[in-house]
Amino acid sequence: MAAAQLPTVPVPVELPALGPGTYFNEIQWQVLFSIIDAVIPSIVIDSAAEKNENHHLQISQSQCNESYEYIQQVTSHPPAFEEFVEYLGARPLENQLFLCQVRRMLDNLPPQLKRQLGGLLSLLATRLGSLAATGYITPIHEQPVRIREAILRSWQGSWFKIWPVLAKSIMTLTRICWAQTDHYFHRLNGYIDYPRHYQPGPAFAFGFMQFGEGSEPEAVDTDVVIVGSGCGGAVCAKILAEAGHRVVVVDKGYYFSPSQLPMRPDAGHEYLYEAKGRMQSTDSSMSILAGSCWGGGGTVNWSVSLQPQGYVRQEWADQGLEFFTTAEFQHCLDRVCEVMGVSDAHIKHNHGGRAILEGARKLDAKPCPQNTGGAEHYCGHCVLGCGSAEKKGPTVSWLPAAAKAGAQFIEGFNVSEVLFDHTDGNKQATGVFGKWTSRDEHGQVHTPEAGRIQKSVYLKAKKVIVACGTLQSPLLLMRSGFENPHIGRHLYMHPVGMVNAAFDDVINGWEGGIITSVCTSFENLDGKGHGVKIETSAMVPHLALFNHPWHGALQWKLNMLRYRQMNTFISVARDRDTGRVYPSPDDSQPVIAYTPSDFDRAHILAGQVAIAKLCYIQGATEIWPFVADVPSFVRRQRRTSSAGTTGAADEKSDGDNVDNIDQGINDPDFAAWLRVLQGANNRPPLTSFSSAHQMGTCRMSAREADGVVDPRGRVWGAGNLYVADASIFPSASGVNPMITTMAIADWIAQNVSMDLKRAK
């Protein structure tokens, strides 16, 4: 790449061509798009010349004027009236980018979800089905927008579970695609898809191994093969390579250089996330994100670098895993933090980070250390990859260090099984087998795989380390013939409940460090270390808005004009109760059976209540907990002129005291609303949760009968085979799991190294 001129925006990464979409027929597509159109339609004044009730939701002139006045009151940068009308009138279905994104997300759905959705769409197209589902004989796709919107609303409250779930799924799809692609929404909120003053950091030349054409499988010989380049794998690579062993690291994902990061959201989903960012639990109660690319979760995570707390380490030690409370393990933790320059000394907090520290002053809140090598790193887009290379993830610190020590790398390499030798009755790992898919002749990965070199490769090794992450490591073990019933079970997720809040200030939440503070006051609600942490969230719009409550098209579009003044807070539970991951019979991809339990949901709700109080104290003008059937809280007293910025200050002086979390109780409106929230039923699937932290599916145990790996990370019942990633946590870490993952990987790698040396 010519380095003459540094780009000022990330180099766009091309997407694969869309499939033919033949999984739905013409009518099914029509029904689906008619519903999508009703979630976020074009809204026009009923006297407008071009109105057409099939394409436009109509409002009266006075309703439009009232809405505009309202927007003038609640936003710091109200659009001109004409812009406002244009924004309301825009129809996503006429935006090519939006349509492509909808198609892409549907293409990526697992086959069995496509079948389910297709069945419901067909049913809705029939008269009888329509009558049952909507109360009308006329099928939904022949109804005007007004009726379709009303049907969606009625589904939300429907007693028969199928319809609310369908409504929720289509709304989520629509909100994500709209938040990613609507130009008006972006422009009126001053949002751009990359950090201001964008300057890509240096790329590291990984020199990935290449294989030639030909049908013969290749064979590669090494000391240690590491499957997965994420947080666990990368740490093992550095330690083992620096200890002088020959190391090969493989990942099914590809490397993207800092100049290509952060990616646009559509490309980011395609190339950086497991299952292209479209993972849900089987009952649709959870949306799940996990990284899958060169660097794994470390490429997309949010830099939070917390060490596991004493009470969790004690819990693990009490299960016979004493080393978690040893000084030796503390050294592992300190070592990984040191390599990444973990520190809280350089943080510049954005609004959300400050809100937690100030709003929770009476509580326990603290800045969150970040792995930014001592840089300030005021960047909120890392969730789509870090362009500055300031975030010291695997691709920036661990893997380059491994390279310098001689490690070799293969990207685009999907391991299908671990190979074994069974002589003398023992099962000994001897390497892995998998398929490599090259880049195309232009170094791109969006062109069809059939046009690139594909090759089977045997990687022979003395030691095999599986670090595919919590969702894939158990599947690889199952494919490799292990039948231990613990494999895939004990899935912890750190389920998250969200709250959005709007403030008087301009927040631009997508700028600044993503999570720079944490409130720990509610982390032990049962006396056994289960509870929630309160953190901020990434404010890339689709992540903050995919579940933002929808009660109607106008309400939603008006809310969205306040995005630059919104912030998202998360209540992250250390879950007590678990789920399971297993391969889908359709396509062998991970199926995730997990429903947040009553016990864990009560904690999440308690956290959301605390967040609401914190936001109230910080002067929030409206608060939206993502809890089904709970209306937003609207502060009655609001600023009077659109130009004024003193409202918040006035209000604080007449009562709110930042030192007292319970102060809001003095506002009877707020107190009454809080009671509604506290008593709410947050049962899934109507209330949705999310997860970016998966753990525990190959858990470590002191005895063979209780888990999958032993205290040194060796898979029970096999030799020379290790697991070193978040899947071996004995239970949920409570803190964001990267540092814990890395420290355990450090521990295991030291041991592997010792073993290898002894063998020599």
Ligand X SMILES: Cc1cc2nc3c(=O)[nH]c(=O)nc-3n(C[C@H](O)[C@H](O)[C@H](O)COP(=O)(O)OP(=O)(O)OC[C@H]3O[C@@H](n4cnc5c(N)ncnc54)[C@H](O)[C@@H]3O)c2cc1C
**Please, what is the minimum distance in Å from the beta carbon of residue 151 to ligand NAG?**
29
**Please, what is the minimum distance in Å from the beta carbon of residue 445 to ligand X?**
13
751 lines the binding site for ligand NAG (CB under 6 A): yes
Identify which range of 30-38, 145-153, 385-393, 750-758 contacts ligand NAG by CB under 6 A.
750-758
335 lines the binding site for ligand NAG (CB under 6 A): no
332 touches, from ligand NAG, ligand X, none (C-beta below 5 to 8 Å by class): none
CA dist 146 and 9 (Å) reads 41
Number of H helices, E strands in the chain: 23, 23
Nearer to ligand NAG, 242 or 283 (CB): 242
Which stretch of DSSP H or E encloses residue 499? strand 496-502
CA dist 616 and 671 (Å) reads 11
The residues carrying an active-site annotation are 693
**Secondary structure of residue 496 in the 3-state scheme:** strand
Nearer to ligand NAG, 488 or 685 (CB): 488
Nearer to ligand NAG, 70 or 81 (CB): 81
588 lines the binding site for ligand NAG (CB under 6 A): yes
Nearer to ligand NAG, 479 or 580 (CB): 479
Nearer to ligand NAG, 370 or 694 (CB): 694
**Secondary structure of residue 94 in the 3-state scheme:** helix
Q: Which of 296, 711, 730, 737 contacts ligand NAG by CB under 6 A? A: 711
Nearer to ligand X, 88 or 386 (CB): 386
**Please, what is the minimum distance in Å from the beta carbon of residue 748 to ligand NAG?**
8
| Contact present, 440 and 452 (Cβ < 8 Å) | yes
Q: Which residues of 655-673 are buried (b: 16+ CB within 10 A; e: fewer)?
A: ebebeebebbeebeebeeb
| Contact present, 256 and 660 (Cβ < 8 Å) | no
Identify which range of 61-69, 181-189, 336-344, 489-497 contacts ligand NAG by CB under 6 A.
61-69
| Contact present, 38 and 557 (Cβ < 8 Å) | no
Nearer to ligand NAG, 138 or 416 (CB): 416
231 touches, from ligand NAG, ligand X, none (C-beta below 5 to 8 Å by class): ligand X
| Contact present, 604 and 503 (Cβ < 8 Å) | no
70 lines the binding site for ligand NAG (CB under 6 A): no
Query: Between residue 458 and residue 487, which ones bind ligand NAG under the rule CB under 6 A?
Result: 479
Task: Return the HEC string of 442-472.
Answer: CCCCCCCHHHCCEEEEEEEEEEEEECCCCCC
Q: Which of 81, 187, 444, 526 contacts ligand NAG by CB under 6 A? A: 81
Residues that bind ligand X (CB under 6 A): 227-233, 250-253, 289-293, 296-298, 300-304, 383, 413-415, 467-470, 472, 476, 515, 692-693, 725-726, 736-739, 741
Residue 107's contacts (CB-CB under 8 Å, 6 or more residues apart) are: 18, 19, 21
Identify which range of 91-99, 276-284, 615-623, 745-753 contacts ligand NAG by CB under 6 A.
745-753
Q: Which of 65, 210, 584, 645 contacts ligand NAG by CB under 6 A? A: 65
108 lines the binding site for ligand NAG (CB under 6 A): no
Q: Which residue has the tokens 């326990």?
A: 364
DSSP string, 123-175: HHHSHHHHHHHHS-SS-GGGS-HHHHHHHHHHHHT-SSTHHHHHHHHHHHHHH
CA dist 606 and 593 (Å) reads 24
Which stretch of DSSP H or E encloses residue 82? helix 81-89
Q: Which of 8, 47, 416, 637 contacts ligand NAG by CB under 6 A? A: 416
